[in-house]
A = this chain, B = another copy of it.
Amino acid sequence: MIVTPQRMRFDQPLPLQSGAVLPSYELVYETYGTLDADRANAVLICHALNASHHVAGHHADASGQPIPKSEGWWHNMVGPGKPVDTNRFFVIGVNNIGSCFGSTGPTHVNPATGEPWGADFPVVTVEDWVHTQARLLDALGIERLAAVMGGSLGGMQTLGWTLQYPERVRHAVVVASAPNLTAENIAFNEVARRAIVTDPDFHGGHYLRHGTKPRRGLRIARMIGHITYLSDDVMNEKFGRQLKPLTDAVQAGAVDEAVRLAYRYTTQDVEFQIESYLRHQGDKFSDYFDANTYLLITRALDYFDPARAHDGHLSAALAAAQAEFLLISFSTDWRFSPARSREIVKALVDNRRQVSYAEIDAPHGHDAFLLDDPRYHAAVRAYFERRVAHSLSAGGRA
């Protein structure tokens, strides 16, 4: 499935939750499948911290050939014959503003100054993102979504949709998410932000002007984040206490087994396999991710809290939702534990909403929402086939 990103410009100023106004912006988005005549089969996919509009399919090179390894971040979930079947649904992926994969964000030029926004890019929230996504749907002529779906922060946007545009969402699929962040969640975000902000190459967020990039901070931020996405079990299974092997030439017999397996007694070098893996993850991330984007998106995570305006009562907050829900959590996810999903389930049940809930016993921690566990995918597939599609064939237009 070859896909091409599209770009849409919005010149009407966008009032933000913070009180600031974004004078204009552009959204990059991709669509997969075909919008039916009723315009009723659209499914919006909301992305999390380190993802974009490129949800599924491949990009093509100049000759139209699929670029290897260019599949979208949820390629195992969305596509022809996949759990979210693009033979049946018109799926839309949008890159959120403030991000760094094409939509207006801190690396873009601020029209008022002619310089990149940098640290001056306004703080954005889940609520703001949902409004921008709704405007895109207006432009595409889609009044009502068959479903909104997302994992992690994408799940928060999904929940936000059901509260901000209750009549525009038939089904909400919320995966590995939570009604807000705990103190521990905020703590990890804050350490990552401090690593970035205190990097001398950050220059108060104006690193683009200085021609620098706070790579040290981005690497640390990514390493921290990565540890929280994995589970203790999967890290032990994948890495355990294994040492990083010496180079291949050395391994190929030139060095005795005891030496190869010995500690090297260093403090600054890689010795354990897990160290090598984390450093690699940090290096890769620091190549492509934008530091101000990292700050903006983790803040959006921190702020999301629908119950806050209801004195902490989630049931009161979710009374506005009309959608039918599917929630999924993973047993070893310690970032957004199953208990957090169950809070949402309970609040929906309190409001007599229709909700399905699956707690998948998977070893992969928070990362599991991106992987292809068969029970997880079967639950999503069944929901889309029996509940989401059912709404369509029942001709359920308002």
Residues in chain A within 8 A of chain B (CB atoms): 17-20, 119, 122-123, 180-184, 186-188, 190-191, 193-195, 197-200, 204-205, 216, 219-220, 223-224, 227, 230, 232, 235-236, 238-241, 263, 265-268, 271-272, 274-275, 278-279, 282, 292, 295-296, 299, 302-303, 305, 308, 334
Q: Are A198 and B216 in contact, CB atoms less than 8 angstroms apart?
A: yes
Cross-chain contact B194 with A236 (CB below 8 angstroms): no
A266 to chain B, nearest CB (A): 7
Please tell me which one of the listed residues B20, B194, B230, B278 contacts residue A223 in the complex, with CB atoms under 8 A apart. B194
Given contacts A267-B292, A268-B205, A272-B190, contact A183 B119 (CB under 8 A): no
Report B-chain residues with C-beta under 8 Å of the C-beta of A197: 268
Q: Which residues of B contact A193 (CB under 8 A)?
A: 267-268
Are A267 and B239 interface neighbours, CB within 8 A? Answer: no
Contact between B198 and A200, CB atoms less than 8 A apart: no
Q: Which of B183, B191, B274, B299 is in CB contact (< 8 Å) with A240?
A: B183
A241 lies within 8 A of B205 (CB): no
- State the Cβ distance, A373 to closest chain B Cβ, in Å: 21
Q: Smallest CB-CB separation from A190: which chain B residue?
A: B275
Which of chain B's residues have a CB closer than 8 A to the CB of A263?
18, 303
Instruction: Choose among A20, A195, A239, A271 the residue with the greatest number of B CB atoms under 10 Å from its CB.
Output: A195
Closest chain B residue to A191, Cβ basis: B223
Given A20-B265, A188-B227, A267-B299, 6 other A-B contacts at CB below 8 A? A187-B274, A194-B219, A194-B282, A198-B219, A205-B267, A267-B292
Whether B241 and A274, one on each chain, are in contact in the complex, defined by CB atoms closer than 8 angstroms, is no
CB distance from A199 to the nearest CB of B (A): 8
Q: Determine the distance from Cα of A305 to Cα of B181 in the docked complex, in whole angstroms.
A: 36
**Chain B CB within 10 Å — which of A18, A184, A230, A263 has the most?**
A184
- B17, B186, B216: the one within 8 Å of A275 (CB): B186
Q: Taking CB as reference atom, which chain B residue is nearest A215?
A: B198
Give A363 Cβ to nearest chain B Cβ, in Å: 13
With a 10 A CB-CB cut-off, give which of A216, A266, A308 has the most chain B CB atoms.
Answer: A216
A199 to B239, CA, bound (A): 27
Query: Ordered nearest first, which 3 A-B pairs have the shortest CB separation?
Result: A18-B265, A267-B295, A183-B235
Q: Is the CB of B235 within 8 A of A220?
A: no
Residue of B nearest to A232 (CB): B184
Are B224 and A183 in touch, CB under 8 angstroms? no
